[in-house]
Chain A
């Protein structure tokens, strides 16, 4: 079946010739009209639209945005904050970069609508430190929007006002975790907070109720405010509404970003048609479908079970190429949609080398707060690095699994899972390669591609 057409809502203007990131260009293309209409409405109506839309967060967890908003403590009398998660730190993900650099006003309009709907008077954009140019672009864009009265006090002549400031991170992956991000915004080490009691919706930034939303999510909010939640819910598939930007990297002919209705394209269509298939003379071997912490999928494996279609339960029997790229399907087959970062590996890759690369990342990025994660991620790195550069033993796979199994579920934040899932899934699916690695090394079968 041929791949469907892209449906570019959020990336409508990305890479469009002549489209610039200044406010005049944005306004010329109908920008801020949605905000003008939105502030004439009741805030509760806007929240209802987002609830109706079924929009799920695009940062990684896929939590319903409307539910997130409805959990906010509105009775405390404390100010409510919006924090925009522009940390984009999950390896394999590179969508927000383009929104920030090429279409920042789309995001700012989404922020202002979200703030108005939730009675937020102060928003912060937490942008990763590695986007210095992006931070400057956002500051300029906010200043432009302020000059035109879209941001700041009494926006568009109303009694409502809201300020936005840009806050730069400094190279720590853990700042993508929302409570770590909040700590970082408070000027501290980004140690994630324990939940309960520190749910951001109740005790977030400065111990006030706080909404943390991803950049792409907020752009979708703008779209929902424009066309209504019911219309938005018609895009995509049930429980997986709207469009989603899929970022493909690694061993494909045409890596890049592609926006599709959620669940309307399969992994096979994405990789073989949209991305042009494997590199010449190579074969696909494995795919990480939702950012580097998502469990790996092996080419050739089958996924079987029952799934809900409409009101019926039907059997499914999928190969990796048949899997629809939506939150629920990817969760069903034991992985996740995560942040939409699809990393592809072909038959030139030895999985021990690949895992060694991933483990080096997580060992570097563990915040160090919880012992199982701090020590476990380091040991997993040490073992895989030793396998590659020192002595490899056939029992190393079992040892790695043993370490990984003792991390997940024993840490304050999801980093524990994020760092152990790659090891667990690599060993489960490519255990033979780990067992055979000492032999493989001796025969020098690999050695072309250095990964650690």
Chain B
């Protein structure tokens, strides 16, 4: 595994948080996904060895939790909330606006490689619906207009500097 030194250091540190190594499965998956971008077969085997468990123990976790992904995504990750409160305030239109702006479907890498759009379940910010996360940042009250503005911002940023 080719990990950044700080990722490796954090992995070793986080394992000490738990009396059993297996508990570090989710933290390790997060750390490696943040570093590498997705969870490969190699990662699953590497984590299994690191935590002294079987690869199937890691694999079943990867397939259970929606946030872990098995393939790379676009450079930016757009997560639009789909659940009731956001939908009541127009979340479906917001999602469509993003899809149109980047000419892509859900869960795909857009043709320009820029984004992957996901329609996710509740992001727990229902009072400011509809909400959207771009990478790790939350945007509130994102109607179609704001979705188009955000898209323009993402496109502009990509021309300045690569994000990942």
Contact = CB atoms under 8 A, between A and B. Distances in A.
A168 B26 contact: yes
B121 A364 contact: yes
B83 A292 contact: yes
Given A97-B125, A130-B133, A170-B29, A250 B88 contact: yes
Interface in B51-82: 51, 53, 57, 60-61, 64-68, 79, 82
Given A168-B26, A188-B61, A251 B67 contact: no
Given A251-B88, A449-B88, A187 B51 contact: yes
A357 B20 contact: no
Contacts, number: 150
Interface in A339-375: 341, 343, 345, 349, 354, 357-358, 360-361, 364-365, 367
A249 B83 contact: no
Given A89-B124, A92-B85, A129-B65, A450 B92 contact: yes
A256 B141 CA distance: 12
A364 B17 CA distance: 31
A292 B84 contact: yes
Interface string A171-188: 111000000000011111
A176 to B, nearest CB: 11
Contact of A361 (B30, B53, B79, B84): B84
Contact of B121 (A133, A186, A343, A365): A365
Interface string A239-272: 0000000011111000111000000000000000
Interface in A135-179: 165, 167-173
A171 B127 contact: no
Interface of B: 17-20, 22-27, 29-30, 51, 53, 57, 60-61, 64-68, 79, 82-85, 87-90, 92-93, 120-129, 133, 136-138
Given A131-B124, A247-B127, A361-B83, 9 more contacts: A170-B65, A187-B25, A206-B20, A249-B126, A257-B127, A354-B84, A354-B88, A357-B82, A449-B88
23 contacts: A92-B85, A129-B67, A130-B67, A133-B136, A167-B17, A167-B27, A170-B30, A170-B66, A171-B65, A173-B121, A187-B53, A188-B57, A188-B60, A190-B65, A248-B127, A249-B126, A250-B88, A255-B129, A256-B127, A354-B88, A361-B82, A361-B84, A367-B64
